Amino acid sequence: MDMPHTPTRSHWSNRLAFILAAAGSAVGLGNIWKFPYITGVNGGGTFVLIYLMCIAAVGVPIFLAELFIGQRSQRNVVESFEVMDRPGTPWRLPGWLGLASAFLILSFYSVVGGWVLDFEYRSLMNQFAGHSDEEIKAVLGSLFASPGRQLFWHALFMGAVVSIVMRGLNAGIERWNKILMPALFVLLALLLVRALFLPGFGRALEFLFAPNAEALKPAGILEAVGHSFFTLSLGMGALITYGSYLQSREELVRTAFTVALLDTLIALVAGVIIFSVVFSFDLDAGAGPTLMFQTLPMLFTKMTGGYFISVAFFLLVSFAALTSAVSLLEVIVTYWVETHRKSRTVTTLVAGGVIYGLGILSALSTNLLSGVKLGDKTFFDLVDKLTSSVFLPVGGMLISLFFGWVLGPKAAEAVAGKGKYAHVAALGLMWSARLVAPLAVAVVLVHGLRDW
Ligand code: PHE
């Protein structure tokens, strides 16, 4: 099953660079913005439990499957399935779906990245200090109301993503991840310590970790499953693409566990911090997408050195968002450069432009287009829900089936390596990919979609 290397392909400089890039892709707005807000909307405890179970039972096996497919094929998200199976195989479908997901996700992701930039600017200008909690709560609303402001920050964010991806793997993505991810971890730890002294800390823990099954509907369960894909960057080939820059003998299992653990930890820490503020200042846990933007500035204005913490925090979140966004665009660019032999610069610019255009519809969803709805969902809501609750789970399910049934025991054994328990691990991985993961996703999809 060993495939020859494409001589022109770049590779990660070392193991750490790869782990940081994979973590950079996984850790992003999904952890700090989205996880707390959907947890709040879905009532806490049980939602978190399902999310955690999914990461362990479904997420990690699919994570391994994607890395393996990328590493062995040394190809982009579409061709990798052909290299592993045969030219023209119908298994390219998850590849195409992945490309579609990348376009759609990045289009609204960049808009939210823009909100973070706006908050970074306001922090720098010290615009939160001296304002009441009510006034701080209204800040995001004023950004929502302004199409010009939204489009400006969306453009800036997308521009940054394009300029990093254009420079290629080693000079762009790798360098930035190495510096910024560790800084984010340190700052979150600092905020966690501060949250410990808030009166709402205990209730935050209870909200996040005490089961409360009655609060959760089937659509909420689907959202928990979908988010476990979103947060690990699974189901759309980001990890196939990053895995394809690995040397062929690099070990995968440790990497997958490290990244999944790190990603989960960061989401939980962000959740604890944000809900400590929610319960200390009597805010609405179910506020939705505005949650992070309303709670954290309130905390910052009450901390010594709050100005600097606020500036550093939004800066680091924008970088976390950027490293994830980069991995989304990289999926598209690698495909066009490799399969259609287009130049990296041109492809990146064109794809970035198309995604920016698509994102305009999301940016205007809070103002000019707020009345244009399908059911009760604006364009923004629709793209967000459709990708994480449908495209990613379906893509992940197909990738899992491909790994389990088409690649089979040989692939599982290759991933499990030669350790003492390798045989058991391989069996576990293969059956998880063949049955457990696809079945779990299928059941949740059928029930969740009926309830959508
Ligand atoms: N995992 C990223 C986050 O949590 C989002 C993402 C999804 C990135 C899919 C790449 C692919 O923010």
**For 204-239, what is each residue's pLDDT tens digit?**
999 999 999 888 888 899 999 999 999 999 999 999
**For 335-363, what is each residue's pLDDT tens digit?**
999 999 899 999 999 999 999 999 999 99
**For 79-92, what is each residue's pLDDT tens digit?**
999 999 999 999 99
Which residue owns the Cα nearest ligand 1 atom 10? 233
**Is there a domain that residue 42 lies in?**
yes
**For 84-142, what is each residue's pLDDT tens digit?**
999 999 999 999 999 999 999 999 999 999 999 999 999 999 999 889 989 998 999 99
**Is there a domain that residue 30 lies in?**
yes
**Is there a domain that residue 2 lies in?**
no
One-letter amino acid at 203 equals: R
**Tokens standing for 426?**
């391989």
Q: How far apart (Å, rounded) are the C-alpha atoms in residues 236 and 219?
A: 21
Which domain does 280 fall in, by range? Answer: 15-450
Q: How far apart (Å, rounded) are the C-alpha atoms in residues 372 and 379?
A: 8
Confidence of residue 2 (pLDDT cuts 50, 70, 90): very low
Q: Ligand 1 centroid to 22 CA: how many Å? A: 10
Which residue owns the Cα nearest ligand 1 atom 11? 233
Residue 67 scores a pLDDT above 70? yes
In this prediction, residue 157 carries a pLDDT of: 98
Q: Which residue has the tokens 């922090």?
A: 123
In this prediction, residue 177 carries a pLDDT of: 72
List, in sequence order, the alpha helices (H) in 55-127.
60-73, 79-84, 93-124
Q: Say if pTM beats, i.e. exceeds, 0.85.
A: yes
**For 155-171, what is each residue's pLDDT tens digit?**
999 999 999 899 876 76
In this prediction, residue 26 carries a pLDDT of: 96
Give me the numbers of helices (H) and strands (E) for the chain, helices first please: 22, 0
**Is there a domain that residue 372 lies in?**
yes
Q: Ligand 1 centroid to 28 CA: how many Å? A: 6
Residue 269, domain CATH: 1.20.1740
Residue 375 scores a pLDDT above 80? yes
Confidence of residue 290 (pLDDT cuts 50, 70, 90): very high
In this prediction, residue 172 carries a pLDDT of: 63
Contacts of 14 (CB under 8 A, 6+ apart): none
Residue 240 scores a pLDDT above 90? yes
Domain count, the chain: 1
**Other Cβ atoms closer than 10 A to 191:** 22
**Is there a domain that residue 6 lies in?**
no
Q: Which residue has the tokens 């978190």?
A: 48
In this prediction, residue 173 carries a pLDDT of: 65
**For 141-200, what is each residue's pLDDT tens digit?**
999 999 999 999 999 999 999 998 998 767 666 777 777 778 888 989 999 999 999 999
Mutation test of ligand 1: which of 324, 333, 392 has the most ligand atoms closer than 8 Å to its C-beta? 324
Q: Could you give phi then psi for residue 377, rounded to 5 degrees? A: -110, 135
Which residue owns the Cα nearest ligand 1 atom 7? 233
Among residues 236, 230, 244, which one has the least CA distance to residue 339? Answer: 244
Burial of 280 (0-12, 13-18, 19+ CB in 10 A): buried
**Is there a domain that residue 9 lies in?**
no
**Is there a domain that residue 262 lies in?**
yes
Mutation test of ligand 1: which of 101, 230, 384 has the most ligand atoms closer than 8 Å to its C-beta? 230
Residues touching ligand 1 (Cβ under 6 Å) are: 25-26, 28-31, 105, 230-231, 233, 236, 238, 324, 327-328
Q: How far apart (Å, rounded) are the C-alpha atoms in residues 95 and 402?
A: 12
Q: Ligand 1 centroid to 130 CA: how many Å? A: 35
**Is there a domain that residue 40 lies in?**
yes
**Tokens standing for 24?**
């950079």
